[in-house]
Amino acid sequence: LTTLGQDQTTSVVFRMSAAPALPSGYVPIAVILSYTDTHGNNYEDSTSFNIQIVSRPNIQVGSFVLSVAPLRPGISSVLTLSLINVGGDRAYSASLSLSGSNFLTGVATNYLGSIAAGGSSSASFFLTVSNKTSLGTYNLHLNINYTDVVGNPYSQTTDHSINVASFLPPAISGTHV
């Protein structure tokens, strides 16, 4: 502002943003108004107010690891995923489901409970590749479900590709004596 006359008003807009991982709560904002009147006298006034920050959980896949890679026909592997809550609030009733693979055996959903903001959890799935599985790239669909502190549901699906490579026959070696 440069000049503000008697009985005039003006609005000032302050654009603010909060980091996604900022925890829920209230943040105090201090405002200081400094001005000089027409006689050269300096004045200063201050006030403060609170802004409510509403965060939400945000679970992301941190790692995607196969115990045996690449997968091959006739071979089993354990898929272990780490999940990280990069949001600013705790995630409740978190679960991870795996679909899209014809070689998933056993449980297709892992129940993870709650994950604190900045916290992590892991889930494992047992995969068995049939001897009749064609070579190629297969998509796995990971569906992550959770709620926030007031019960709002969140769901996100990510796709990951895994390769099935050709079968390797057992190696036989011998020694000629």
Contact 128, 76 (CB under 8 A): yes
Give the pLDDT confidence of 18-57 residue by residue, as tens digits.
Answer: 776 677 788 888 988 888 888 889 999 999 989 888 788 9
The structure's pTM equals 0.67
Residue-level pLDDT at 177: 64
Burial class (CB within 10 angstroms; exposed 0-12, middle 13-18, buried 19+) of 104: middle
Structure tokens at 141: 């669909």
- The confidence score (pLDDT) of residue 112 equals 95
pLDDT at 133: 80
What local confidence, expressed as pLDDT, does residue 88 receive? 87
Q: What are the pLDDT digits (tens) for 67-105? A: 988 888 888 889 999 999 999 899 999 999 988 766 666
Region 52-69: mean pLDDT is: 88
Q: HSE, CB side, 13 Å, CA atoms: give it for residue 149.
A: 12
Alpha carbon distance 86, 22 (integer Å): 10
User: What pLDDT sits at residue 174?
Assistant: 65
Closest CA to 4 of 47, 28, 38, 50: 38
Model confidence over 107-155: pLDDT tens digits? 688 999 999 999 999 999 888 887 778 888 888 889 999 999 889 999 9
Going from the C-alpha of 58 to that of each of 41, 69, 155, 160, the distances in angstroms are 52, 29, 10, 19
- Token pair in block for residue 167: 């079968």
- By CB atoms closer than 10 A (0-12, 13-18, 19+), residue 110 is middle
At 152, is the secondary structure helix, strand, or coil?
Answer: coil
pLDDT at 103: 66
Structure tokens that stand for 117 in this block: 């903001």
